[in-house]
Each structure stands twice: as C-alpha cells, then as structure tokens.
Amino acid sequence: MIRQATLHDIDAICALCVRCQPNPLPLSQMKKTLTDLIHAEDANVLVIELCGLVAGVVAFNLILQLDKSNHLGRISTIMVDEHFRDMTLGRQLLSAAETYLLARGCGHIEVVPSYHKADAQSFYLHCGFQLTPERLIKALAA
C-alpha cells in the first residue's frame, strides 16, 4: 500500500536510508530533513508498506517555472529495501510520484540517480527517463 509518509514513519524511513545508502546523513539531520519534507507545501514523501513495514520511500518536489508552460517535478530520493526489490515497488513509487506531479501541472520529471549504484541509472532509463547533459550545479558556501 502506498501512502503519505507521516512523522510516525521517520524512524523507519531513516533505517531504510541507512541500509540503502553507502554514506547516510547523520540521523539527526535525516530526521530534520524528513520533517521539513513532510510539512513542505511543494514537496511530498510517500512510503510503500508491506505487512506493516516501510519497504520503500520516494521523496519529490514541485519546481515552479516562470519561463515554461509546465512545472518541473524532481525526484530527490527513491529507495526500496533490498529484500523487496524484485517486487516492482520502485516502479509503483515512481508511478505514484508521477501521478501526484502530473496533477499539479508538471510537464517533466527529473532525477539525478545515485551513480554509486550501477542499477539506479538503468532503472530510470527503463522507466522512460532520458539522459541529458543539461544541468549545471554550483555549491553554495554555508
């Protein structure tokens, strides 16, 4: 079952992040970010549950664009517990995010896959994403 993440899910989502990421954020920072995302108007976090366990999560946001006729959706995180990866849960989470973003006027969705995971880029390409070299990124000093 896919549903909105709540504050009650934070510990389960953080545990999933620790299992799925090679260098997870400190737990306190992860909890703060999740809390911010859950409460944000232009972002959303969905979880997929199996037998009462959080088996996957997708976090995404809506980017309003002044110079385009449609908005842009950005998938910031999609993770599925390794024990459930052969069950199409990633596709289900992605589809739910796409439905949400399309309903809010998005014409495109972008994602920056985790290049340390060989199958991440393949997953997105298989789901219809196209690789484009159009991003420029600048780190901001704190």
- HEC per residue, the chain: CEEECCHHHHHHHHHHHHHHCCCCCCHHHHHHHHHHHHHCCCEEEEEEEECCEEEEEEEEEEECCCCCCCEEEEEEEEEECHHHHHHCHHHHHHHHHHHHHHHCCEEEEEECCCCCCHHHHHHHHHCCCCCCCCCCCCCCCC
Tokens read off for 122: 């393949």
pLDDT digits (tens, 9 = 90+) for 76-107: 999 999 888 888 999 999 999 999 999 999 99
Q: What is the pLDDT of residue 85?
A: 84
Of the candidate ranges 41-50, 67-76, 130-139, the one whose mean pLDDT is the lowest: 130-139
At 32-43, the pLDDT tens digits run: 999 999 999 999
CA distance 72 to 60: 11
* Contact of 79 with 16, CB cutoff 8 Å: yes
Amino acid at 109: I
Kindly report the pTM of this predicted structure: 0.88
pLDDT at 137: 72
Highest-scoring range by mean pLDDT, 55-64, 122-131, 132-141: 55-64
Q: Which residues contact 63 (CB under 8 A, 6 or more apart)?
A: 42, 71, 72, 73, 74
Tell whether the model's pLDDT for residue 134 goes beyond 80.
Answer: no
